Amino acid sequence: MFYLGIDISKDKFDVALISDEEPESPKKKVFSNDKDGLAKLLTWLSRRADAEIHACMEATGTYYEELAAFLVQSGFGTSVVNPSYPSNFAKSSALRNKTDSVDAGVIADYCRAKRPRFWTPPSPEAKELKELVRRLSVLEQSKMEEENRLSSGVSSKAVTKSLNGSIRFISKQIEELEQLIKDHVESHPGLKEQRDLLISIPGIGEKTAAIILGELPSAENFENAKQVSAYAGLSPREHRSGSSVRGKTRLCKMGSSRLRRALYFPAITATRYNPLVKDLYQRLRKAGKTKMCAIGAAMRKLLHIAFGVLRTREPFNPLAESRA
């Protein structure tokens, strides 16, 4: 059995190939992150045509998506993991110093030791939805920036006119894109079913549901809700020294920032209207936790509930969720 660790960036990806027989002797190579590099990788791997190869890479930005899909289509078992997993594995195994970066060799060692679950590529409609919701996010950010410029005390009438025109134009694009997203979900039964499951959860509306469906891989890519939290960077992280906890517990934030942003305001709403999130939030506040710490826990709880309804394909039921 061979294990292929991949450290990918915008322009290139480094690979390290190890085997059960020779785990200390990795074969390393660098390829360009383009179609030519993918073809050369396949040629390089074809030299071991009779060997079973398990590939593994980190979910960093969007760089991994094309390569991971290519490997799956080429017949290789492929895992896409949270960047914190190989990093923590390396620290616990004394494979590197804390200041050293995680490289392809570390990822290969992690793959051999942990045998992470194979990754399932998103469906074409899910991939399209991701691009739509990300474009919407860009437009909303652009509108906010223009509004901030307008409210910053602009005295020029010409600039004011230009800013107002820009805001109207972007607002129109946002309106059209929101309709495109709604129509896209409605036209695909699988997405529509998942959307309806998500909006059965108090605190999650159609817009948040679309972002979750676009940004969160399918439920079969996760073994449990904790892995979903880690993917979104919502796992709690304590600052420890020896046996003592020092400092506040904070979110890990090594994960999808888009999911975290999408869940922030819905979680606040859920602390008022979702009985499970409300109970958790109030218990944490009474226990002396800060407001932001309690909101972080509410975001995590809301994501756990979302994962639960998607995995079971059953609408939100507070009684069933409380027993889960």
Q: What is the CATH number of the domain that holds 106?
A: 3.30.420.40
Across the range 249-276, mean pLDDT stands at: 86
pLDDT of residue 238: 52
pLDDT beyond 60 at 297:
yes
Q: Which of 95-109, 152-166, 240-254 comes out lowest in average pLDDT? A: 240-254
pLDDT of residue 92: 78
Give the pLDDT band (50/70/90) at residue 107.
very high
Mean pLDDT across the chain: 88
pLDDT beyond 70 at 217:
yes
Q: Are residues 74 and 141 in the same domain?
A: no
Strand partners, 78: 55
Across the beta sheet with 53-58, the strand order is 27-32, 12-19, 2-8, 53-58, 77-81
pLDDT of residue 240: 44
Give the pLDDT band (50/70/90) at residue 175.
very high
Q: Are residues 31 and 72 in the same domain?
A: yes
Q: Are residues 239 and 270 in the same domain?
A: yes
pLDDT beyond 90 at 256:
no
Q: Are residues 176 and 136 in the same domain?
A: yes
Residue 61 zone, left/alpha/beta (φ > 0; ψ -120 to 50; rest): left
Residue 280 is assigned to a structural domain of this protein: yes
CA atoms within 13 A of residue 50's CA, in its CB half-sphere: 0
pLDDT beyond 80 at 277:
yes
Range list of β-strands (E), the chain: 2-8, 12-19, 27-32, 53-58, 77-81, 236-237, 240-241, 244-245, 250-251
Q: Are residues 252 and 302 in the same domain?
A: yes
Residue 281 is assigned to a structural domain of this protein: yes
Where a domain ends, among 93, 114, 135? 114
Q: Are residues 79 and 178 in the same domain?
A: no
DSSP state of 173: H
CB atoms within 10 A of CB 238: 10
Domain count for the chain: 3
Residue 244 is assigned to a structural domain of this protein: yes
Across the range 98-126, mean pLDDT stands at: 84
Q: Are residues 150 and 101 in the same domain?
A: no
Residue 85 is assigned to a structural domain of this protein: yes
Residue 192 is assigned to a structural domain of this protein: no
Where a domain ends, among 81, 114, 147? 114
The whole domain housing 45 covers 2-114
Across the range 59-87, mean pLDDT stands at: 88
Q: Are residues 60 and 135 in the same domain?
A: no
CA distance 174 to 140: 7
pLDDT of residue 323: 52
Length of the chain: 324
Across the range 101-107, mean pLDDT stands at: 81
In the chain, what percentage of residues exceed pLDDT 70?
Answer: 90
Q: Are residues 54 and 33 in the same domain?
A: yes
Q: 3-state DSSP call for residue 218? A: coil
pLDDT beyond 80 at 172:
yes
Q: Are residues 241 and 294 in the same domain?
A: yes
Q: Are residues 172 and 211 in the same domain?
A: no
Give the pLDDT band (50/70/90) at residue 38.
very high
Across the range 193-198, mean pLDDT stands at: 97
Residue 195 is assigned to a structural domain of this protein: no
Across the range 211-224, mean pLDDT stands at: 90
Q: Are residues 247 and 313 in the same domain?
A: yes
The values of phi and psi at residue 185, to 5°, are -65, -45
Enumerate residues 6+ apart whose C-beta is below 8 A from 194: 209, 213, 310
**First CA to last CA distance, the chain:** 37
Residue 198 is assigned to a structural domain of this protein: no
Where a domain ends, among 53, 82, 114? 114
Residue 214 is assigned to a structural domain of this protein: yes
pLDDT beyond 50 at 99:
no
In the chain, what percentage of residues exceed pLDDT 90?
Answer: 67
